[in-house]
Structure 1
C-alpha cells in the first residue's frame, strides 16, 4: 500500500498541473477580437481635462458607468484638454479621451496646431455644445460682428481653439485679424479687460453659462452678439464641425435669445479599442441614466452625431446608433 502512494502522488500532481494548464488555454481563446484582453479584464485610460473644467467631473462619472457596463477598468487622467489629449492618444498612452470637435478634426486632418495627421482616431459621440460667445457690453455700442472692425478684441491665445474660432467667424463676415486690434487673452483676462475698458469685446468658446462671463454680467449689462443665419450656414458648410446653438434669454441677464454657433465636446477613442467594448460604452453612456451633471441634459443619442464633420465613427459606436436608427447628417 505504501508503495502505491509513492508512485501515484507525482502522477496525480502532474495530472492536476496539466488540467490547470488546459483551463488556462481555454480562457485565452475567449479574448476579444484584435488580441485585446478578455471581457472584464481590460484596463483603459480616459483623458479628461483640468480639475476646474467640465471634462474632469464628467470623466469620473463616465468611467464608473463603463466599468459597470463592461467589467473593465477605466482610469481617468487630468490633462491640458483637447489638443494634449489628441497627442497623448497618438503616443498610445491612452485609449479614450475628451476633445472638442474642431480640435479632433484638426488632429485627423493634420491642420492648425497639428503638423501631421494623427491616425487611428475614431469618434464615439458628441456630447454637449461649447458655445462661441462674442461678448461685449451694451454701452460699447457694438451691435454686430461687423461692428468689431477697428475695435480692440480678445481672440484667445495664439493657436488655441478659440483663436481659430475667431478667425473663422471673422472670415465668413469678410473680416480678418488685420481689421481688428487683436489681443491674446485668457477668458478671465478678457472679461477683466472689458470691465476696465481696455478692450471692447472678446471671443469666448465654452459651455454656458461661463463663470468669467457671469462675473462680468454681475457688474455690467452685457451683450452677446448674434451670428446671423446666413453666416452660420456658410460657416457650417465650410467647417462642418460647427453646429447651430442658442444662448437662452436670461443667461447673463440678457433680454432675448442669441443665435450663435458651437463646437461640440465629444468623446474619441483609438481604433485599438475593440468594437464590443465601445458598443457597451456607448450604450451605457446614453441609457444608464446616471449622469449627475448640468451638462447631462445635452447628452442624448439624438444629437450625438452632430458636428462630427469628417471624423469617422468607431464601429462599436456606429453599431449602437444604427440600432437606434440615428444617422450622421
Structure 2
C-alpha cells in the first residue's frame, strides 16, 4: 500500500512540474532545446538556448470581423507553421488599446497595434493618460489603415452626426480611441451623440437593422464588412472635412506624427463615384519589450524570409515588403528586430 501511495505522489509531482513548463514568457529559460520531446522543433533552437520551442505565446488581435482579429489569427498560423519558435495562440480582444493592456499585465506577449494607440501608450496620452507603457515594441509594419466613416443617407456633414446613434468600436478598441480623438477634432464629445460600443460584425448588423446611424473603422481598403453594408444600400462612405483632416495631421501632443493624408479611390465602395479624402496610419505587429532579443530576431527573420507566404495569407498583407520597414525608423523597435533590420541594411 505504501509503495502504491509513493507512486501516486511521484506521478502528481511529475504532472505538476509539466504544467509549469509551458510558460507564456519568452524569458523563461529553464528548459534547454535538448529537453524538447519534439525533435522537429529544435532546428532554430540548437544554436540559441534562449528560444524554448515548448513555450506558449499569445497574440492579441481584435473584435470578430475586424482586420486586427484576422491579423492575430494570421500570425498565429504563420508562426506555428515555423514549428521552431514556440506555440502561438490568438487571444480575443476588443482591439489595440486592450492588446497593449494585455501586454502590460502579461496576458499577451504580442499584439496588433495601430500607430495612434502605440504612440498614446508610449507618451501616456488619451487612453493611457497618466499610465504610459513604454515597454511596447515594434517587430514589423503590416498595412496602412484608413479612417472610414459610414453613415445613413440622411447624414450629409459632420454636424449632422450630433444626436445620432454611432458605432464607435468595442470598449478598449483602437476604433473607440480613434473615435474619441476624431470627434473631438470635429468639435464633439461622446455626450453629443449616442455611442454604440460594438465591434465590426455587431456594428454592421446594427446598421442593417436600422439600430445605428453610422459606424467607423480604421482598416484596410476595401473593408469587407463595409462592402456588405454599402452593397445592401444601408450606408454610404462619408468624407472627412478638410478642416478635420488638417487638424488630425498636425503633430499635436504626440512625440511623432500619427496620421497622414490619404485618399480612398473612387468606386472602392458602391455609390462612391469620386475619390474620398481621409486620413490613414500604419498598423504593426508589436510585442512586450522583455521578450528575448534572440526570439524576436528569429521571428523577424522568419517573417521576411517567408514574406511571400505571408502575402498570400491575408489581402491586407498582399503588398507588404521589407522596404516598408524604412518608415519605422522613428518607432520603438525591439532590439532583436532592429538587429535583423540593420543586418539587412534597411535601418
2:109 alignment partner, one of 90, 95, 99: 95
Within the alignment, does 1:285 sit opposite 2:303 as a pair? yes
1:249-260 correspondence to structure 2 within 5 Å: 249-253=266-270, 254-260=272-278
Given that residues 247 and 258 in structure 1 are in contact (C-alpha distance below 8 angstroms), is that contact kept between their aligned partners in structure 2? yes
1:176 alignment partner, one of 183, 188, 204: 188
Task: Show the counterpart of 1:318.
Answer: 338
Task: Show the counterpart of 1:264.
Answer: 282
Given that residues 155 and 161 in structure 2 are in contact (C-alpha distance below 8 angstroms), is that contact kept between their aligned partners in structure 1? no
2:71 alignment partner, one of 40, 55, 66: 55
1:299–1:242 Cα change, 3 Å: same
Secondary structure of the residue that 1:129 maps to in structure 2? Answer: strand
1:262–1:65 Cα change, 3 Å: farther
Given that residues 222 and 252 in structure 1 are in contact (C-alpha distance below 8 angstroms), is that contact kept between their aligned partners in structure 2? no
2:96 alignment partner, one of 36, 60, 82: 82
Within the alignment, does 1:213 sit opposite 2:233 as a pair? no
Given that residues 108 and 311 in structure 1 are in contact (C-alpha distance below 8 angstroms), is that contact kept between their aligned partners in structure 2? no
Given that residues 246 and 259 in structure 1 are in contact (C-alpha distance below 8 angstroms), is that contact kept between their aligned partners in structure 2? yes
Report the alpha carbon displacement of residue 313 of structure 1 after superposing the two structures with TM.
1.0
2:323 alignment partner, one of 302, 306, 309: 302
1:318–1:198 Cα change, 3 Å: same
Given that residues 239 and 278 in structure 2 are in contact (C-alpha distance below 8 angstroms), is that contact kept between their aligned partners in structure 1? yes
Within the alignment, does 1:203 sit opposite 2:223 as a pair? no
Within the alignment, does 1:43 sit opposite 2:55 as a pair? yes
1:72–1:195 Cα change, 3 Å: closer
Once residues 231 and 65 of structure 1 are traced to their aligned partners in structure 2, the CA distance between those partners, rounded to angstroms, is 44
Once residues 263 and 113 of structure 2 are traced to their aligned partners in structure 1, the CA distance between those partners, rounded to angstroms, is 21
What's the Cα RMSD here?
A: 3.7
Report the alpha carbon displacement of residue 134 of structure 1 after superposing the two structures with TM.
0.7
Once residues 320 and 229 of structure 1 are traced to their aligned partners in structure 2, the CA distance between those partners, rounded to angstroms, is 40
Given that residues 149 and 179 in structure 1 are in contact (C-alpha distance below 8 angstroms), is that contact kept between their aligned partners in structure 2? no
Given that residues 136 and 223 in structure 1 are in contact (C-alpha distance below 8 angstroms), is that contact kept between their aligned partners in structure 2? yes
Task: Show the counterpart of 1:127.
Answer: 142
1:127–1:244 Cα change, 3 Å: farther
**For residues 242-293 of structure 1, what are the alpha-carbon distances to aligned partners after superposition, in whole Å with 9 as ceiling and x for unaligned?**
3444433333322233232234331112222233432332232133121122
Once residues 95 and 155 of structure 1 are traced to their aligned partners in structure 2, the CA distance between those partners, rounded to angstroms, is 26
Within the alignment, does 1:247 sit opposite 2:267 as a pair? no
**For residues 279-325 of structure 1, what are the alpha-carbon distances to aligned partners after superposition, in whole Å with 9 as ceiling and x for unaligned?**
3322321331211221221432333464x697511122223333455
2:178 alignment partner, one of 156, 165, 175: 165
Once residues 43 and 64 of structure 1 are traced to their aligned partners in structure 2, the CA distance between those partners, rounded to angstroms, is 12
Once residues 117 and 222 of structure 1 are traced to their aligned partners in structure 2, the CA distance between those partners, rounded to angstroms, is 38
Given that residues 48 and 59 in structure 1 are in contact (C-alpha distance below 8 angstroms), is that contact kept between their aligned partners in structure 2? no
1:298–1:156 Cα change, 3 Å: same
Stretch of structure 1 that moved more, 179-188 or 273-282: 179-188
Task: Show the counterpart of 1:108.
Answer: 122
Number of matched pairs: 289
1:78–1:228 Cα change, 3 Å: same
Within the alignment, does 1:136 sit opposite 2:151 as a pair? yes
Given that residues 91 and 108 in structure 2 are in contact (C-alpha distance below 8 angstroms), is that contact kept between their aligned partners in structure 1? no
Give the TM-score, by structure 2 length: 0.68
Ranked by relative contact order (alpha carbons within 8 Å, sequence separation 6 or more), the top structure is 1
Given that residues 129 and 245 in structure 1 are in contact (C-alpha distance below 8 angstroms), is that contact kept between their aligned partners in structure 2? no
1:85–1:189 Cα change, 3 Å: closer
In the alignment, structure 2 segments of 5+ residues that lack a partner are 1-31, 35-47
1:258–1:300 Cα change, 3 Å: farther
Secondary structure of the residue that 1:316 maps to in structure 2? Answer: helix
